[in-house]
Chain A
């Protein structure tokens, strides 16, 4: 009886809640409060999302993994930033990942993730992302969800028009935002014009292992190269970059780089330059840049400095580079799934400009040029124009595609996403974003085959969308259903850091490849300990190497004596678990770095320099079993003058 009463009450309560929801829905302009929309984003406990979204962290330097449509965050993958949560950039194995020609750089500003492609379709093997500040490109495995490789980009500064992938992942492309003297030299800043250059780097990707190598850099005039996208389908073999500051101003760009009525989209025929380079073209110039590679078997990264890079001047390869006039400081440079349309999102322009690849080829064939810039032919705006979307909004930034003939453009100033039709250029729908949207993402929306079901907008300003958390708030994102004629706002969710771009993909393309453990039998770490018999403590001068194992729920050894003040202690710890989702942690009191989080089958090393005499504990940080609190040990630290011999034990 009591139960029935309770149930009745519950039903009434639910009705009441619903009624009030619906009422507030009527007064809201979000249009997202029908029960239908709630169902569309509800992923029941234990159920999986249908899509992964990889959202850049901006100034966090990392990459976050979300589920769609729920907006739940699954993981933060450390890329360019030290990450005490798992010891990335602190452990001896991962420190080399953050080496650069400037030394160890523990941070960057990560912007534009892009998933590898085969024949223009997302293949889900790797995801690439750029470090903006100290120019670097990273490759992250989508089987381990770990950063596997980082290559520094020389001659670049503000690595912003990056990292975009050609349709068979032949290249990941990295363009410079700031032009600089190449090679760097000590000259007056006012001598910028004509002396500074912009390097556009074509980094080849090994089809089997994904390893990156800078094939060539095109040294362009000293403009700012803002964003880029590859041609695809009919335009495969070309790459398009938006430019601003074609004025070549070196100060107060806010005003001085907004003088020209039109800037350019630079069209680069990379196949032609590749052929030139394959035949020995270009010049090897001295350089210094880091190439850091992580190996899944040794569980260790190595960093090597490369000493030269091949550069190509556009004048060396006639017919490879053209400039397409595009109104008012275009930002996003987006190519539709067919490869015919190149959208220049002129951020200070009233209209959205769309160029035609076919018309561009015709104009080139007929040699109809309006002039040249530093010897690079400039095409006529009207000759290449496919059409304009007339006054769609204020401050267009980025465009994505749904694969059904529609394009979706973000408008920063008017805080909205506008849907328009390719070919007719008519506006079909517009929906507000909250607030000041930057990029937007449709799964596969910058490939030949978009999955046009969801779109999400990443906003720069959050304000009142969530409970306030002081002056600084996580940025907001909004998820829209784009399967119908009109976009429908489904969900708000907070994002970490400052997302710029994101890449999203149907879950089934990658989820079955996701790695569960690292096999002990494949562990080639030079300091591994695969069984109790391998555990030991070895002194090498002041360095003490502890070969340790961990399993639920003990360390072996867990009592260590004979360490002295002034020693440098290396804990080389192997997790002997071979079961999914049983990492162990390791933390040492007073260690001036971070913890280690060690995946099953993995070996990691933490360095500790004991400064105080005493007996100091270490413990497992990741609740691993009912006996997790028992997973601990001690290191006895004796005075530097002590003659206590090294000894170690477990259970004695």
Chain B
């Protein structure tokens, strides 16, 4: 009995401590947190230009050659048509934004991370969070592309002018 009492005290105390911990976590988490009110008029997330933001995910560095690799772009178009067109149209807003001209506003790393790590991006990348709100909360689906395929899709985006 004594032993159990002790054990219970530990459990009870641990519960209290972990409850406290949860509170703290909640504060850090983005869920349920109101976006800070800003006074200046905001540019829509899709129109914002953030060329130095690489986003959150597996891609930390992409080098774009001066010339477009046409073979890679063709492969990218195939992948895009198969995996992305349910929600994206090349030159107009659909469920999600149009990829046309995307590299004028986004870093290549950010684009690939959005393709490869959409869940992580909408949790941790402020721009991706804003985009989710701008597009009515429609989440970007993780279509399970390989890095190679995502890179090819990026090359295809370079051809959309």
Q: How far is the CA of A531 from the CA of B87 in the complex (A)?
A: 10
Min CB distance B71 to A, Å, is 19
- Interface size of A by CB at 8 A reads 32
Tell me whether A533 and B144 are in contact (CB under 8 A). no
CB neighbours of B138 from chain A (8 A): 552-553, 625-627
CA distance A627 to B7 in the complex (A): 46
- The answer to whether A577 has its CB under 8 Å from any CB of chain B is yes
| B85 close to A (CB within 8 Å) | yes
**B5 close to A15 (CB less than 8 A):** yes
Determine if B8 is an interface residue (Cβ-Cβ < 8 Å): yes
Nearest residue (CB) in B for A11 is B12
Q: Please, which residues of chain B bring their CB within 8 A of the CB of A519?
A: 144
- When each residue 59-103 of chain B gets 1 if its CB lies under 8 Å from chain A and 0 otherwise, what string results? 000000000000000000000011101110000001100000000
Instruction: Please tell me if B11 contacts chain A, counting CB pairs below 8 Å.
Output: yes
On whether the beta carbons of A578 and B143 are closer than 8 Å, the reply is: yes
Report if B49 contacts A (CB, 8 A). no
Closest A residue to B80 using CB positions: A531
- Asked if B136 is at the interface (CB within 8 A of a chain A CB), the reply is yes
Q: What separation, in Å, do the CA atoms of A549 and B12 have in the docked complex?
A: 51
Measured CB to CB, the nearest residue on chain B to A18 is B8
Against B, the Cβ 8 Å flags (1 = close, 0 = not) of A99-137 are 000000000000000000000000000000000000000
Cα–Cα distance between A398 and B55 once the two chains are bound (Å): 60
Contact call A627/B9, Cβ cutoff below 8 A: no
Given contacts A520-B83, A531-B81, A625-B138, contact A579 B8 (CB under 8 A): no
Task: Fill in one digit per residue for B122-161: 1 if any A CB lies within 8 Å of its CB, else 0.
Answer: 0000000000000011110111100000000000000000
Kindly state the separation between the CA atoms of A626 and B122 in the bound complex, as whole angstroms: 14
Cβ-based interface call for B44 (8 A): no
CB-contacts of B36-52 with A (<8 A) = none
Chain A residues in 8 Å Cβ range of B16:
7, 10
Q: Given known contacts A577-B141, A582-B141, is B82 in contact with A531 (CB within 8 Å)?
A: yes
In the complex, chain B residues whose CB is within 8 Å of the CB of A556: 86
Q: Are A627 and B86 in contact (CB under 8 A)?
A: no
Chain A 552-593 per-residue mask, 1 if CB under 8 angstroms from chain B, else 0: 111010000000000000000000111100100000000000
Query: A366 within 8 Å of B by Cβ?
Result: no
Residues of chain A from 501 to 528 with CB closer than 8 A to chain B in the complex = 517, 519-521
Answer whether A551 and B8 are a contact pair too, CB < 8 Å, given A520-B82, A556-B86. Answer: no
A532 within 8 A of B: yes
Contacts of A267 in B (CB 8 A): none
Min distance, Cβ A261 to any Cβ of chain B, angstroms = 54
B1 interface contact, C-beta 8 A: yes
Nearest-neighbour CB distance to chain B for A564, whole angstroms, equals 29
Task: For the complex formed, measure the closest distance between the CB of A348 and the CB atoms of chain B, giving whole angstroms.
Answer: 46
- When distances are taken between beta carbons in the complex, the residues of chain B under 8 Å from A521 are 82
Q: Which residue from B11, B82, B94, B136 sits with its C-beta under 8 Å from A530?
A: B82
Residues in chain B near residue A576, CB distance under 8 A: 83, 86, 141, 143
Nearest-CB residue, chain A, relative to B118: A579
Residues of A within 8 A of B139 (CB): 552, 625-626
Q: Besides A554-B86, A578-B142, 6 other CB < 8 A contacts?
A: A22-B1, A35-B8, A549-B86, A576-B83, A577-B141, A582-B141
Give the B-binding residues of A (Cβ under 8 A).
Answer: 7, 10-11, 14-15, 18, 22, 34-35, 517, 519-521, 530-533, 549, 551-554, 556, 576-579, 582, 625-627, 651
Q: List 15 A-B contacts (CB under 8 A).
A: A7-B16, A14-B11, A14-B12, A15-B5, A18-B4, A18-B8, A22-B1, A35-B4, A517-B144, A531-B82, A532-B86, A551-B141, A578-B83, A625-B137, A626-B138
